[in-house]
Amino acid sequence: MSNPFFAEWDTPFGIPPFDQIKEEHFSHAFDQAFGDHDAEVEAIVENKEAATFENTIEALERTGTLLDKVSGVFFNLTSSNSTDDLQAIELEVVPRFAAHSSRMFNNQGLFGRVKSVYESRDDQPLDADQVQLLADTYTNFVRAGAALSDDSRSKVQALDEELAGLTTQFGQNILKDTNNFELVLDSAEEAKGLPESVLQAALGEGEQRGKSGKYVFTISRSSITPFLQFAEKRDLREKIYKAYTQCGNNDNEHNNHQILKTIAALRARRSRLLGFESHAHYMLDDRMAKTPENVTDLLDKIWSPTRKKVAIEAEDLQSRIQEEGGNFKLCSWDWWYYTEKIRAERYSLNEEQVKQYFKLENVRDGAFDVATRLYGITFEEVTDIPRYHPDVVGYEVKDADGTLIGLFLVDYFMRPSKRGGAWMNEFRGQSNLEESIRPIVVNCCNFPKADPCLLGMDEVRTLFHEFGHGLHGLLSQVRYRSQSGTNVKQDFVELPSQIMEHWAIEPEVMKSYARHVETGEVIPDEIIEKLLESQTFNQGFATTEYLAASYLDMAWHTLVSDEDQDEEQDVESFEEKALQQIDLIDAVEPRYKSSYFQHIFSGDHYSAGYYSYIWAEVLDADGFEAFKEKGIFDAETARSFRENVLERGGTSDPMELYKQFRGREPEVEPLLKNRGLA
């Protein structure tokens, strides 16, 4: 059959021809791509010349072109526009991917050449990015088990393949369980208290799900959060909240409990084979944090003031319940509702009125304008490109001198075929090895599809956050693909995204994009002042639920042996024990419970790594102080951040990159101040 993956893509910007790519093309394309990559690797191994950086390390960078091409499309689609057929292919392909990767990293002939180059590194005239690439390549082989005995390598490979299948199944179960739940209301009276914009979004969701005229609410964050904030019926708030916290833990074929226990046990076993005490020790050894003790130390420093603040917040909410005649104890599904009441009164803020100033398109343009003012780059919509879904909008991104930077895609609306959350990804990464390859970057969110789509402040921050990741990918200027954009240490990757959130709430910026959806009126100063005053409101809760999830992540991944995990012990008991150790108050749950904790169980990347958001927040809070000291659009500060962070990718140690930008290591005080904890 004619397979578009086997031809050059004659499309604008070289974007994948989504209109030509069919689901049946993927299996054939993966077969060819795996075979091609094996042959390319074998050619390096069989090279009779002595191993050098050019014929071994750099040669490796040139391999896998077809595999990158196919997987770039496939894994973007399985996240953002999946189908049953794609999910079936994914379950088959992901373990093959793991086996393929293990086979390459455990190829003793290839490892011998890599090791030879690494051990003679001081005798070679290498540039700084090449020194880093060589060190990372050698480390990746060792961490994959290349230096182990034949028997141990074989065991690691088998574990990698099994884990790949389990983590894929974990994520698919969450998508299916999420789509299984609907809270369907027949009338606005049942949804008493909900703002008109929320009701309209629920009607739109009903239309998409074949329930015309019904109000449909889901456990997607953009649906459940406003419901918990405004729905007066406590029993309905409890119902949807429990559905959210039970995702992946229902009496059906999508229950994740046994899967996640097996994942944790297999990770512990693999880490011991690789010479590490636990999976957390293994993962953190290659991150900025280095050890679980360093992570716990940071979490503990923030947890102490957080516990005091969240206890005060809980007392305020309980008092409000009693003032209204409520004869019940504050529960998790009450928190958003009574917090919103107190927020509205204390700061005279009405969430629904505030949202009128945050039309999605205006917020998006506001983020673009920030990038233009900081870095001189521009965004121009392009309409003549193939799209994988009608909701996708594309932008040609150019530098101040008119040079093409790349293509930026946005896919903002939620739908059943898209996994929950928000993320940045690439269809093609940047590199300059043999030719200038410009990136194709995508931002995905799950905003309610309504006309107009009005965002709450959390969603405004989400858009700016993912745009920060997008800039990291777009502005990359590196030689080697494996070092480009967001290919950095996992606990450094959130710096560019989180620092962008600061501009979203700066008065000067907000007044440039926040305009009333009907009148066009610029957001009044008094509303901006109230929003800023309320920044630390409810931060005890927000920090508590985040830290609780981080501690839970570390609990699962500091297991040192299979015996630590009693197969008869249920997941709830494990969670309860872990959260008792930090004395978590009853009215707050972790942001993610184990059965739907995709960050840590749907793939390896964030496992033992959920702490990285707060780790990076130390960096972004301290880093934004540099902008505030000289002006939030100071040209020299922006140039330094672009050149030392955004353009450099993984070409150097991340702390060194940060110090080149800031002039020193970060301090924790700005974070505590921003969260109202100091």
Q: Are 215 and 203 in contact (CB under 8 A)?
A: yes
* Residue 264: partners with Cβ closer than 8 Å, 6 or more residues away: 279, 556, 557, 559, 565
**Which residue type does 267 have?**
R
Whether the bond into 305 is cis, omega within 30 of 0? no
* Residue 230: partners with Cβ closer than 8 Å, 6 or more residues away: 193, 194, 195, 198, 337, 340, 351
**Which residue type does 372 have?**
T
Backbone angles phi, psi at 413, to 5 degrees: -100, 145
What b-and-e string marks burial along 388-397, b requiring 16 or more CB atoms within 10 Å of the CB? Answer: beebbbbbbb
Q: How far is CA 83 from CA 86, 269, 424, in A?
A: 5, 34, 20
Residue 542 CA to residue 552 CA, distance in Å, equals 16
Contacts of 87-93 with C-beta under 8 Å, sequence gap 24+, read 87/172, 89/23, 89/26, 89/27, 90/168, 90/172, 91/165, 91/168, 91/169, 91/172, 92/27, 93/26, 93/27, 93/30
Q: Are 571 and 260 in contact (CB under 8 A)?
A: yes
- Side-chain-facing half-sphere of 88: CA atoms under 13 Å: 6
**By CB neighbour count within 10 A (0-12 exposed, 13-18 middle, 19+ buried), where does 386 fall?**
middle
Residue 614 CA to residue 306 CA, distance in Å, equals 13
Could you tell me which of 69, 259, 288 has the C-alpha nearest to residue 172?
259
**466 flagged as catalytic:** yes
**By CB neighbour count within 10 A (0-12 exposed, 13-18 middle, 19+ buried), where does 312 fall?**
exposed
- Side-chain-facing half-sphere of 403: CA atoms under 13 Å: 11
Q: How far is CA 23 from CA 65, 88, 627, in A?
A: 20, 11, 47
What percentage of the chain's residues is helix, strand, coil (to nearest 5)? Answer: 60, 5, 35
Is residue 656 left, alpha or beta, with left meaning phi > 0 and alpha meaning psi from -120 to 50?
Answer: alpha
Q: How far is CA 486 from CA 497, 567, 593, 646, in A?
A: 10, 37, 27, 9
In sequence order, what are the beta bridge partners of 398? 378, 404
678: tokens are 């100091």
Q: Are 174 and 256 in contact (CB under 8 A)?
A: yes
Could you tell me which of 62, 84, 86, 61 has the C-alpha nearest to residue 73?
86
State the CB neighbour count (10 A cutoff) for residue 445.
Answer: 22
294: tokens are 């360093």
Q: How far is CA 518 from CA 353, 510, 514, 534, 646, in A?
A: 12, 17, 12, 25, 37
Residue 369 CA to residue 363 CA, distance in Å, equals 10
Determine how β-strand 378-382 pairs with β-strand 393-398.
antiparallel
Of the candidates 466, 506, 589, 647, the residue annotated as catalytic is: 466
Residues serving a catalytic function are: 466
